[in-house]
Amino acid sequence: MNTHSPNIRPVIRQLDEAAINRIAAGEVVERPASAVKELVENAIDAGARRIDIAHADGGKTLIRVADDGCGMTADELPLALSRHATSKIDGSDLLDIHSFGFRGEALPSLGAVGRLTITSRAEGAEAAEIAVSGGTVAGVKPAALNRGTVVALQDLFYATPARLKFMRSDRAEAQAIGDVIKRLAMAEPSVGFTLRDVTGGGDRVTFRADPQSGDLFDALRGRLGQVMGREFIENALAVDAEREGFRLTGYAALPTYSRGSSVAQYLFVNGRPVRDKLLIGALRGAYQDFLSRDRHPAAALFIDCDPHKVDVNVHPAKSEVRFRDPGLVRGLIVSALRHALAEAGHRASTTVAGATLGAMRPEQTQPRVYQMDRPSPGARAAAYQAQAPGFAELRDSWSARVEAIVEPDAEPDHPAQPVEALPLGAARGQVHENYIIAQTADGMVIVDQHAAHERLVYEKLKRQMAENGVAAQALLIPEVVDLSPDDAARLLAVADDLSRMGLTLEPFGGGAVAVRETPAILGEVNAKALILDILDELFDQGSSALVQEKIEAILSRVACHGSIRSGRRMRGEEMNALLREMEATPHSGQCNHGRPTYVELKLADIERLFGRT
């Protein structure tokens, strides 16, 4: 709305440089973590091998980034503070980007809203320093510095005090800075990072990651261990896949190592940390068959491609990207992750066993018994002998041991592999008519018989559906759904894919489509609601797996009702057959809802529970 008087014509005027920089800063520098990101990316682009980051009061009063990169000369310092001055590109091809920064906006934007000081020394030149405060640049002067660059930003947003009202607490801002550094540390395993909190004159190291050496996966594995923790590495699967010029590498965790939120999802495109809804949706889609909706996968995935196939110049913060062929990238992520999860077979995460041992660990209520207070070997032998008849009666009457059934004329020509040597071992008993106890070569396994059989039946149903196709049910009267011409065109473009899932569509003139067949397994379907949901998914993600998800949800419920129920007693051969089938079936380490189907406890851990170490 024009608030000016109708008799006064608005005048077009050129904004001054200070106002332009403050406006640009609003896009580039959203909070202290944004400033840290820009400065550390500059250090990486300068070839730094070690970067030291310090902040005070969550970055509001001080951000200091020191690196050992190539540095700048005294003549280059004033140019570095000019808008759109950069050494990263020559401006001839804005898609051929091989660096983090390229817009030339960060340093002048920071200088417009805070007090910025840059001290730098290039090889073969003297160190120099330049300062800018609220957009006012001071002259270059000599300084003392061995090598590299030190950038100090004080009193962020002092020149735009209204922006300070939108800052969060010091702790929240410090946490955001830590998250930025961890993402950049994962992107550059060969670079060392140190993050310090110097609030109140202190010097507390809050994060440290030393440079990693070795090949791509060794260096990345070491860095992810530093950033995401040892447990993630123990339960992560290496991913390496390529399709039509796109390569996907990284690590993805087992479904049983899931999280309550998406905090452990890290995605990178050509080494750049990004937050892209297409990639997040693809990651979610890859795990949709293994996790319930309230659980989220953990992963660190890197997509590398020709820079011309992806546009990183979508937003000044460069956290969003746009792919030339988004469907190809999504398909690569989903297929590569599902292949890696299938290769994992029946694996379940080690954290399941750790949680079990923690729950079983007894409280120390009795005083320790030292060696001098223990009974002598002779006294123990006499006690055991006196108790032998009672134990023998208990064993015969109440033992839950499962003995293998051996046919008298079934003598093998050569000794078979001991069943205990197999991954899930040999069944030794059943407790509470739901949990199978199996003995392995170096421990024991506890199996939830219902959850395990539910996954086995589900995988069998999916295989049958893949082999025989999805049965379609023809509608007696086709249902016509009126759409806009654009929506109809978007829907009909994927009609062949939907037809393979049992949903047959045809154009019906104008923007209408006719639904002629629906998947039989879904029963009675509200065709219009289904079509609109598919359109929403196509708009959000560029593809739709909604029909497949609904069919798999039905198969999951069928598998649940058709599996071994809790409370059923199983014979020894039935239990062993279940264990063998779990070993041969991919994804059998978790049920259809992402919960573990078994827990493996090592003998050494069990002995520690009883103080036998």
What's the CATH number for 216-344? 3.30.230.10
**CATH number of the domain at 419-613, please?**
3.30.1540.20
For 527-556, give the DSSP string: HHHHHHHHHHHHHHHSS--HHHHHHHHHHH
| Residues 262 and 280: beta-carbon distance below 8 Å | yes
What strands, in cross-sheet order, belong to the sheet with 265-269? 236-243, 246-253, 299-304, 265-269, 272-274
Q: Report pLDDT for 453.
A: 86
Task: Give the residue ranges of DSSP H helices in 308-406.
Answer: 326-343, 350-360, 377-398
> Which pLDDT score, from 0 to 100, does residue 97 have?
57
Rg (CA), the chain: 32
Cα gap 67→48, rounded to integer Å:
6
| All residues at 6 or more sequence positions from 272 whose CB lies less than 8 Å from its CB, including other chains | 100, 187, 312, 318, 321
Coil, helix or strand at residue 247: strand
Strand partners, 237: 252
Which residues lie closer than 8 Å to 522 by C-beta, 6 or more apart? 550, 551, 554
d(CA 133, CA 452) in angstroms, rounded, equals 65
Nearest CA among 224, 421, 246, 389 for reference residue 326: 246
155-158 contact pairs (CB < 8 A, 24+)? 155/60, 155/61, 155/114, 155/115, 156/29, 156/32, 156/35, 156/59, 156/60, 156/61, 156/63, 156/110, 156/113, 156/114, 157/60, 157/113, 157/114, 158/113, 158/114, 158/115, 158/134
**Which backbone phi and psi does 90 adopt, to 5 degrees?**
-105, 0
Crossing angle, helix 546-562 and helix 527-541, to 10 degrees? 120
Q: Please count the other Cβ atoms lying within 10 Å of the Cβ belonging to residue 285.
A: 20
CA dihedral 549, 587, 278, 301 (to 10 degrees): 180
HEC-encoded secondary structure of 152-210: EEECCCCCCHHHHCCCCCHHHHHHHHHHHHHHHHHHCCCCEEEEEECHHHCCEEEEEEC
Strand pairing report for 62-67 and 148-154:
antiparallel
Cα–Cα distance for residue pair 64/117, rounded to 1 Å = 9
Contact 36, 65 (CB under 8 A): yes
Alpha-carbon span 337 to 243, nearest angstrom: 13
Separate counts of helices (H) and strands (E) for the chain: 19, 23
Residue 364 Cα to chain centre, angstroms:
38
Contacts of 526-531 with C-beta under 8 Å, sequence gap 24+, read: 527/475, 527/479, 527/481, 528/479, 528/481, 530/503, 531/481, 531/483, 531/491, 531/505
Domain range list for the chain: 17-209, 216-344, 419-613
Which residue ranges of the chain lie beneath pLDDT 50? Answer: 1, 89-91, 93, 364-374, 383-384, 386-401, 403-412, 414-415
Hey, what are 410's tokens? 């079934």
Q: Do the bridges between strand 272-274 and strand 265-269 make them parallel or antiparallel, or are there none, so unpaired?
A: antiparallel
Tokens standing for residue 575: 């239990």
Rounded to the nearest 10°, the torsion over CA 85, 91, 93, 95 is: 20
The one-character DSSP state at 296 is B
Q: Which CATH superfamily is domain 17-209 in?
A: Histidine kinase-like ATPase, C-terminal domain (3.30.565.10)
Q: How far is CA 502 from CA 204, 515, 523, in A?
A: 60, 11, 12
Read off the tokens for 578: 């279940």
